[in-house]
Chain A
Amino acid sequence: MPPESIGQVTTQFFNIPTAITLESGGTLKHTIIAYETYGSLNSDKSNAILICHALSGDAHVAGYHENAAKPGWWEIMVGPGKPIDTDRFFVICSNIIGSCMGSSGPSSINPATEEPYALTFPLVTVGDMVKAQKQLVDFLEIPKLLSVIGGSIGGMQTLEWSVRYPEMVFSAVPLATTLRHSALGIAFNEVARQSIMADPNWNNGNYYAAKKPDLGLAVARMIGHITYLSDESMRNKFGRRLQNKTDFSFNFDADFQVESYLRYQGSKFVNRFDANSFLYITKAADYFDMTLTQKDGTPSFSGAKAKYLVVSFTSDWLYPTRKSKAMVKLMKKHEIDVSFCEIEAQWGHDAFLLPNDRLSSLLKGFLERMASEFTGVS
């Protein structure tokens, strides 16, 4: 375990005591939230940071689970002395509802039937995910978060938090994200979902006691990985190089490195992720649209009080810079304090998860400022 790591951590579970009414009109009677916290909450509760994870992420942001070889998914950013410094900040991350990493989702057991929910689990939106997270933050007795930080679908949650609970969010850092999914984003998600649903093992979502739709899920993940990379990053990473061979095989084996990479990513994914959760979360991302006016007719950001740091990456073609710029434009219109930086990076959408000195120093500087400007609930 490297010394700069937070060290051994464990996932905790919180049972939401009340039923949650969902945007679809449905209700979730029994909701469990898996979460982790690092560092300690200070006496005036002014140092809490909520991290929101992306599609396939989980509550395990940093540190190591017992006997685990690999650390959490954002170990480079979260830990003692790191940009999200666990010596200074109380860091919380929870698994989103609809997922399969400990929080309630389609693979959870429905207490009413003692069977997995499968497709009887109600459709959840990004708003619903945030609503559930808010219950956790209330349970932890934190009246106002110093910052909410997240990339991709985590960025959508970050935006949602700042608009849905403006009094609870002092600052927000949406990374590599969008105010709403583009037709391109929806299209990729739909192809991925079709791949799962076309797998005969999917069986209308009822596969928990049988063979899983691994092939469909693997292809869905392969499609996802294409969107996380970029033309440039694929050219740099793979080019047309062949995988462990000097000539074409003249059959349908993986000849090219890029084929081999996608196959590996696909097959690795099925061991840790649930196909139904993939359907639910991608649908939630597709539904997400912060440009819509709220129910009372006011535009989305009119009530937002957070100070924002928006970051995009040059080679991200899933949520390109113009998406972030549209977000910034709206915030400026509402006279919101917003900073924006487009980071030159060749790794596509994935760039926010990779080591990046620029992103580290931006976050460090921004959080430093937020910590000095923090004001509690008025």
Chain B
Amino acid sequence: MRFDLEVIASWIEPGAKVLDLGCGEGDLLFFLKTEKNIHCTGIDFEETNIAKCIEKGLSALQGDINEEVKDYADQCFDYVVLSQTLQQVYQPDALLKDLLRIGRKVVVSFPNFSHWGCRLQLLFQAQAPKTNQLPYTWYNSPNIRVITIKDFIKFSKEFGFSIIRQTAINTHNDNRQGNIIHFLPELRATYGIFLIGRTHN
């Protein structure tokens, strides 16, 4: 399983009800179900991914996450997970609003664009950065949003949600291994992972 998913899995307590958006082949869900007895559902756009999930014995829906989340009742999930997908969303603010409506807590992870590798490529090569986390060229990249850890924290204040927990990680080996970054995360982390919730005034 991807290292960021391991971190996310460690945040979710056994027995919780989880919705995973952009669930891929269901690695996180399968882990949560088999290791933590968690009732989970995945949503993904790709038929092949959804089929893999169902074959594995997971509950999964094929569809566009932006549309699918609208059908759920308020607060019907304990956790909604949006891992490595935010940078591909056309209207992140609208989506997050829906996620905070249907989930008590929302987990968001994204590639950190202020990693030194990105900065150096911009500075010395004057080209849009291409990294292990963002391996595309500008014209074929599905990653239409450029987000940094600092951006997301700023966004939380502007948008008005609270950050319950946050971790920065550095990953290698196809993101399968990694470590948690405490010192200079904005510069050294390849991913930021946040647990957010609605602000209660």
Question: Which one of A333, A344, A372 contacts B57 once the chains associate, using CB atoms below 8 Å?
Answer: A372
Q: Is B63 an interface residue (CB 8 A)?
A: yes
Q: Is A207 an interface residue (CB 8 A)?
A: no
Cα(A332)–Cα(B71), bound, Å: 6
Q: Are B71 and A333 touching (Cβ within 8 A)? A: yes
Given A329-B71, A332-B71, A333-B73: A341 touches B57 (CB 8 Å cut-off): no
Q: Are B54 and A365 touching (Cβ within 8 A)? A: yes
Q: Are A365 and B56 touching (Cβ within 8 A)? A: yes
Q: Are B72 and A366 touching (Cβ within 8 A)? A: no
Cα(A205)–Cα(B61), bound, Å: 46
Cα(A58)–Cα(B57), bound, Å: 30
Q: Is A23 an interface residue (CB 8 A)?
A: no
A329 nearest in chain B by CB position:
B71
Q: Are A366 and B47 touching (Cβ within 8 A)? A: no
Question: Which one of A361, A368, A372 contacts B51 once the chains associate, using CB atoms below 8 Å?
Answer: A361
Q: Are B47 and A344 touching (Cβ within 8 A)? A: yes
Cα(A204)–Cα(B51), bound, Å: 49
Given A328-B61, A339-B60, A340-B61: A364 touches B55 (CB 8 Å cut-off): yes
Name, among A328, A339, A366, the residue most crowded by chain B CB atoms within 10 Å (CB to CB): A339
Cα(A307)–Cα(B54), bound, Å: 13
Given A332-B71, A362-B51: A340 touches B62 (CB 8 Å cut-off): yes
Q: Is A353 an interface residue (CB 8 A)?
A: no
B48 nearest in chain A by CB position:
A358
Given A358-B51, A361-B51, A365-B56: A342 touches B61 (CB 8 Å cut-off): no
Count of CB-CB pairs between chains A and B under 8 Å: 59
CB neighbours (8 Å) of A332 from chain B are 68, 71-72
Interface residues of B in 14-58 (CB under 8 A from A): 41, 47, 50-51, 53-58
Q: Is B167 an interface residue (CB 8 A)?
A: no
CB neighbours (8 Å) of A115 from chain B are none
Interface residues of B in 56-78 (CB under 8 A from A): 56-63, 68, 71-73, 76
A332 nearest in chain B by CB position:
B71
B33 nearest in chain A by CB position:
A369
Contact with B along A297-327 (1 / 0, CB 8 A): 0000000000101000000000000000100
Q: Are B72 and A337 touching (Cβ within 8 A)? A: no
Q: How many positions in chain B have a CB within 8 Å of any CB in the partner chain? A: 20
Q: Is A9 an interface residue (CB 8 A)?
A: no
Q: Is A232 an interface residue (CB 8 A)?
A: no
Q: Is A338 an interface residue (CB 8 A)?
A: yes
Given A328-B61, A335-B73: A342 touches B54 (CB 8 Å cut-off): no
Contact with B along A220-234 (1 / 0, CB 8 A): 000000000000000
Q: Is A119 an interface residue (CB 8 A)?
A: no
Q: What distance in Å separates the Cβ of B103 from its nearest Cβ neighbour in chain A?
A: 13
Q: Is A270 an interface residue (CB 8 A)?
A: no
Cα(A362)–Cα(B62), bound, Å: 13
Question: Which one of B47, B55, B59 contacts A337 once the chains associate, using CB atoms below 8 Å?
Answer: B59
Cα(A328)–Cα(B58), bound, Å: 16
Q: Are A368 and B73 touching (Cβ within 8 A)? A: no
Q: Is A16 an interface residue (CB 8 A)?
A: no
CB neighbours (8 Å) of A340 from chain B are 50, 60-63
Q: Are B55 and A325 touching (Cβ within 8 A)? A: no
CB neighbours (8 Å) of B60 from chain A are 339-341
Q: Are A362 and B59 touching (Cβ within 8 A)? A: no
Q: Are A307 and B59 touching (Cβ within 8 A)? A: yes
Cα(A340)–Cα(B41), bound, Å: 11
Q: What distance in Å separates the Cβ of B185 from its nearest Cβ neighbour in chain A?
A: 37
Given A332-B72, A344-B47: A338 touches B55 (CB 8 Å cut-off): no
User: Can you list 9 A-B contacts (CB < 8 A)?
Assistant: A333-B72, A339-B53, A339-B54, A339-B58, A340-B50, A340-B61, A343-B47, A361-B51, A364-B55
* A339-B54, A343-B47, A365-B56 given; 15 more Cβ-contact pairs under 8 Å: A307-B59, A335-B72, A338-B59, A339-B53, A339-B60, A339-B61, A340-B60, A340-B62, A341-B47, A341-B50, A358-B51, A361-B51, A362-B54, A368-B57, A372-B57
Which residues of A pack against B, CB within 8 Å?
Answer: 307, 309, 325, 328-329, 332-333, 335, 337-344, 358, 361-362, 364-366, 368-369, 372
